[in-house]
Structure formats: structure tokens, C-alpha cells
Amino acid sequence: MGYNNRLMADFDQIGRKVEGGERLSFEDGLFLMETTDLLSVGRLADVIRRRKNGNRAHYIINNHINHTNVCVNKCRFCAFQREKGAEGSYTMEIADVLDEAGKGYNPLVSEFHVVGGLHPDLPYSYYRGIISALHSAYPRVHLQAFTAVEIDYFSRISGMSLRETLADLKDAGLGSLPGGGAEVFAEKTRKRICPDKISGERWLEVMETAHNAGLRSNATMLYGHIESAEDRVDHLVRLRSLQDRTGGFMAFIPLAFHPLNTDLDDRCFTSGQLDIRMLAVSRLMLDNFDHIKAFWIMISPAVSQLSLFFGADDIDGTVVEEKITNAAGAQSGKSLSISQLEEMIREAGMEPVRRDTLYNVLRSEPSAAA
């Protein structure tokens, strides 16, 4: 069989699986990561997006808060981290966190997204204090806070088990966990990009414990640095297996690596082709995830809008001020207005749905094309 015929045969087989709701294999994922026929990958991803989300595309009105950039981990891809006392390091007092939350606040804000570094000396009570202070000041705002990496750290510094730590934070007002810190699970690559960070296995264990404690979460993968196509597919397959057991993941967000001011600054920014493909392949492999999110801060509003045709059904939110990717050279700006987000979605022929963190619909407006 010639090369092109073989490609068509592979696509036919994957297409039949997608139409029939059959699970794609690791090899299928690898084929989709590597084929030059990106349009066919997108067409298949679009079938699943429509099946799961119809004509709806989601966004949220949220505010990111990064309470400290001081971190004991020295991840090579991170431009945000500083050592304690180093120039540019900062740590907010709990009162500063409240001020920061107040900055972009209006009654439509439904989520605070809170992540930060692993500070060498702050006690667990500081992190719990952030949650309880935000929860008392803004009882109606959902707190999506602390990655699995932070939760693991809190458990170590507090002497509590993972289960106790999560229950205690939930008591204080924690609503769900964001998906950060996953990076790439494959051991060899992970050791090279973030040698100090918890293992992929541990990240998955923290999430499993959170899901079993009734806390839902997101999941991410950092791509576009030194990882291989096999690493990417392996990451997706591991997330899919955990989701089979818990069903606790809401959305998957592929995060495009930004190289400026990092230890991997000989790498390029990701291409539009790769950004779109990552979203489409994720949509196809993660058959048990309801949502695939294109985080516009990382891949630009323009590519996020295009990704709605390639499997994504969510473009995140208003954000207000995000520091992690901005430190590493993101050019997308720090905030989008509600009307900009809605227009991006409407222009793609879809219905903008304003959601809360748990994907309850807060407002929707069927488009003329619906």
C-alpha cells in the first residue's frame, strides 16, 4: 500500500472508531499527533465536540490571583519563580490577597483562580487563611485554588494526610482544584524540566484523593518544550485512566510553553499548528472529559477562536491579571472583556455560554446560526 493510501486507511479506521464512540488507542493518538492532515484531525475532533457540547462554547468571568512567586521548586520552564529575598520576589499578606481580589471584582465575577509558589517558610495556616478570608469576603465566588503540587506541599508542611488537608481546605471554603502542575507525566522528560517537582504518579494520586473527597478539578499538560509526541499521548492516556475511575475532572487545558526568561529559552514559542493540534488530539483521546479549554492567554484570542472548530468548547475567561505566562513572554494581554469573549464565540457561529466553575450555565444566548 502506498504512503497516502495507508494514511487514508488509518484515518478511515480512526474515523469509524470516532463515529461509533469507540475509544482511541495510544497508537491512534500518536498517528493523530504526527499526521500532516490537520484538517481531518480537526473534523473528527469537531464531531466529538458537537456530540458533547452541541453548539455551545463556554467562558467564565474570573480573576487570577498569584499570592507568591517564591518557590522551593526550580522548574526549568518557569519564569515566574523567584528565590526568597531575590529581586522581584513577592509574597502577599492575606490582606493584599483580598485587595487583589477586589481589584477586578464586580458582581458578575464567579471564580477566583488562586495559585502560587511553594514558599520555604510560610506555615500551612497562611494558605488556609487565604481561602477562609476570600470565602468570608466573597461567599458567592467559587474558589478554584491550589494545584496538586501545592496540595502535596501543604500536606507535608502541615503533617496532615492528603485527605485531611483537602477536607480542611474544603471546610475553609475551597471549591475545586485547578489543573496546573501536571506538566508532562513521562518520568524522563519530567526529570529534565522540573527535577524538584512531585512525580506524575503523585500528581495523579493527589487528584484521585481530591475527587474522592468530593472536590472536582481540571487537568493540564505543558507542551511545546522538549517533550516527544509519545510523552504527549502517554499523558493523555494516564489522565483518561484516572478519569475512568473517578469522573472528577471537568476540563482539560493544554498549556503552550512560553520560553522567555526561562532556563529553556533556546526553545521557540509554539506554532499555531501545534496549538490547534494539541486541542484537537486532546478532544479525541479524552473521550471521558466533558470539556476542552483553549486558554487564550497562552495561545492568543485569535488561535483560541479557531480552536473552537478543532475540538475546544471553552475559552476560559476574563482573567484580569495573570502573571505566570506573562512573565514568560505571553503577548495576549492580561484581560478580555465579556463582550470581546462573547463576540469571539458568536463570530465562530456558536452560542456563548457564561458558566460558573462547575459548568452550570449562568447566561446563554442562542446565536442566529443555532
Q: Which residues bind ligand V47 (CB under 6 A)?
A: 77-79, 115, 147, 178-181, 183, 218, 220, 222, 253, 255, 257-258, 262, 295, 316, 324-325, 328
> Which residue's C-beta sits nearest to ligand V47?
180
| Distance of closest approach, residue 123 Cβ to ligand V47, in angstroms | 23
User: DSSP string of 137-192?
Assistant: H-TTSEEEE--HHHHHHHHHHH---HHHHHHHHHHHT--EE--TT-S---HHHHHH
Q: Which CB atom, from 316 or from 342, has the smaller least distance to ligand V47?
A: 316
| Distance of closest approach, residue 328 Cβ to ligand V47, in angstroms | 3
Q: Packing angle between helix 38-53 and helix 3-19, nearest 10 degrees? A: 0
Q: Which CB atom, from 272 or from 349, has the smaller least distance to ligand V47?
A: 272
All 3 cell numbers of residue 325?
505566562
| Distance of closest approach, residue 87 Cβ to ligand V47, in angstroms | 19
| Distance of closest approach, residue 337 Cβ to ligand V47, in angstroms | 18
All 3 cell numbers of residue 203?
500528581
Q: Which CB atom, from 180 or from 352, has the smaller least distance to ligand V47?
A: 180
Q: Give the whole-angstrom CA distance, residue 258 versus residue 279.
A: 17
| Distance of closest approach, residue 67 Cβ to ligand V47, in angstroms | 13
Cα distances (Å, whole numbers) of residue 206 to 48, 99, 154, 182: 29, 30, 12, 11
Q: Give the whole-angstrom CA distance, residue 242 versus residue 237.
A: 9
Q: Which CB atom, from 253 or from 306, has the smaller least distance to ligand V47?
A: 253
Q: Which backbone phi and psi does 293 adopt, to 5 degrees?
A: -110, 130
CB contact at 8 A, 95 and 140: no
How crowded is residue 361: how many other Cβ atoms within 10 Å of its Cβ?
Answer: 11
**Cβ neighbours of residue 349 closer than 8 Å, sequence gap 6 or more:** 55, 367, 369
| Distance of closest approach, residue 8 Cβ to ligand V47, in angstroms | 36
* The residue to which cell 476540563 is assigned: 251
Q: Which backbone phi and psi does 174 adopt, to 5 degrees?
A: -65, 135
The helix (run of H) or strand (run of E) holding residue 27 is: helix 26-34
| Distance of closest approach, residue 19 Cβ to ligand V47, in angstroms | 30
Q: Which CB atom, from 325 or from 367, has the smaller least distance to ligand V47?
A: 325
Q: Which CB atom, from 14 or from 78, has the smaller least distance to ligand V47?
A: 78
Q: Which CB atom, from 32 or from 299, has the smaller least distance to ligand V47?
A: 299
Coil, strand or helix at 219: strand
Q: Which CB atom, from 77 or from 112, has the smaller least distance to ligand V47?
A: 77
All 3 cell numbers of residue 358?
462547575
Q: Is 86 exposed, middle or buried (0-12, 13-18, 19+ CB in 10 A)?
A: exposed
| Distance of closest approach, residue 113 Cβ to ligand V47, in angstroms | 6
Q: Which CB atom, from 28 or from 227, has the smaller least distance to ligand V47?
A: 227
Comparing CA positions, the residue from 145, 180, 166 lying closest to residue 213 is 166
| Distance of closest approach, residue 330 Cβ to ligand V47, in angstroms | 8
Q: Give the whole-angstrom CA distance, residue 146 versus residue 131.
A: 10
